[in-house]
Amino acid sequence: MGEDKESTLREKLEQFIDEVITQKPVDFESFLRMLTENNCEVKRGKHISLRLDGQKRFIRLRSLSEDYTEDTILERISEQRDAAPMRDCGRKTKEYQSVNLLIDIQNSIKAQNSPGYERWAKIFNLKQMAQTLLFLEENNITEMGILQESAQKSKDDFNDLQTRIQTADTRMKEITVLQKHIGAYIKTKDVYAEYKKSGYSKKFFAKHENQINACKAAKDHFNKLGLSKLPTIKALQTEYATLSAEKKKLYGNYHAKREYMQNVLKARQNVQTLLGYNEKNSEQISQRSER
């Protein structure tokens, strides 16, 4: 879904730390032990690093937000400091936080092997269903049909936006390469003409090899593009500036559309999980919702 994986891993780790701290560890060593008991790997060294189950690499505490360094966690454990309720770097302006997928506790091996993790997962699921309902209410999504349509439309809108950005980006790269070849051709075409007049003299080639090769490369590029007439540098610069402005404008909506798509897709999956929704019983669920 195009989400920023690095940012997501850190947010999940911060949320996991919050849940462990709510279990009231008595000191930092107790906190680290509780992390381990809840299937979080702890690597000691000059700096403490953590890795949740499923993550590929460890993440240092010092690389997390201000409330999650070793010193601030110790302050929170001793109740000398409270964690910020929203770890969003000022990006979110709505009442709900990002929606996360529910954990399948029943089929989770971790939950079966760790009562502590099972307790945390139950609390996590309750919070995520609350976040899901807030998101649906905020966006006036009151029926399964509307949710399905919103999810599909959000995917289509985001994919269209990505396609337009990629198209503009591809053309801008083509213009950059074309400008380079046009510039080289202008500088070397006279030398190449002299080379042709010399009957493709080896002596002349040895003296002007770089210019001749640059001219050949430029002509090959023009032939590849099927250009019968070269565009002017000014025309290419104008097109590039227009595309750059369009790309910048499109990027202005990129993060908002991506965030909405991610939230509505997760909300749909959470609702389907809660209702036991599938294609066969969708009509029954819809009728049940109308009663």
Domain check: are 286 and 165 in the same one? yes
51 by DSSP, 3-state: which?
Answer: strand
* Residues 110, 53: Cα–Cα separation, whole Å: 9
Percent of the chain at pLDDT > 90 equals 37
Domain check: are 152 and 285 in the same one? yes
Residue 4's domain comprises 1-91
* Residues 28, 61: Cα–Cα separation, whole Å: 13
Half-sphere exposure of 52 (CA within 13 A, CB side): 14
State mean pLDDT over 122-135: 89
State mean pLDDT over 156-184: 93
State mean pLDDT over 226-231: 92
Q: Residue 165 phi/psi, 5° resolution?
A: -65, -45
Domain check: are 85 and 13 in the same one? yes
Domains held by the chain: number: 3
pLDDT at 175: 94
The answer to whether residue 170 scores a pLDDT higher than 70 is yes
The answer to whether residue 4 scores a pLDDT higher than 50 is no
CB 187 within 8 Å of CB 228: no
Domain check: are 270 and 191 in the same one? yes
Domain check: are 180 and 273 in the same one? yes
The residue to which tokens 């409270």 are assigned: 82
Domain check: are 159 and 280 in the same one? yes
The residue to which tokens 């953590």 are assigned: 50
pLDDT at 277: 61
Please provide the DSSP assignment of 50-83 as one string.
Answer: EEETT-SS-EEGGGS-GGGSHHHHHHHHTTS---
Write down the mean pLDDT value for the chain.
82
Domain check: are 51 and 103 in the same one? no
The answer to pTM > 0.85 is no
Domain check: are 7 and 38 in the same one? yes
Domain check: are 278 and 154 in the same one? yes
Domain check: are 187 and 280 in the same one? yes
pLDDT in tens, 22-35: 777 778 888 888 88
What stretch of H or E contains 168?
helix 144-197
192 vs 79, which has greater pLDDT?
A: 192
pLDDT at 142: 86
pLDDT category, 83, cuts 50, 70, 90? low
The answer to whether residue 289 scores a pLDDT higher than 60 is no
C-alpha distances in angstroms, 269 versus 2, 16, 62, 171, 210?
Answer: 17, 22, 34, 37, 61
pLDDT at 81: 62
Domain check: are 236 and 171 in the same one? yes
State mean pLDDT over 210-229: 94
pLDDT at 147: 92
The residue to which tokens 């609350």 are assigned: 130
The answer to whether residue 21 scores a pLDDT higher than 50 is yes
pLDDT category, 7, cuts 50, 70, 90? very low
Q: In the chain, at which residue ranges do the beta strands (DSSP E only) sit?
A: 40-43, 49-52, 59-60
Boundary (domain end) residue, out of 91, 123, 155: 91
Boundary (domain end) residue, out of 73, 91, 109: 91
234 vs 77, which has greater pLDDT?
A: 234
The answer to whether residue 188 scores a pLDDT higher than 90 is yes
Identity of the amino acid at 28: F
Domain check: are 216 and 85 in the same one? no
pLDDT at 191: 95
pLDDT at 217: 96
The answer to whether residue 290 scores a pLDDT higher than 50 is no
Q: How far apart are the first and last CA of the chain?
A: 35
The answer to whether residue 152 scores a pLDDT higher than 90 is yes
Q: In what order do the strands lie in the sheet with 40-43?
A: 40-43, 49-52, 59-60
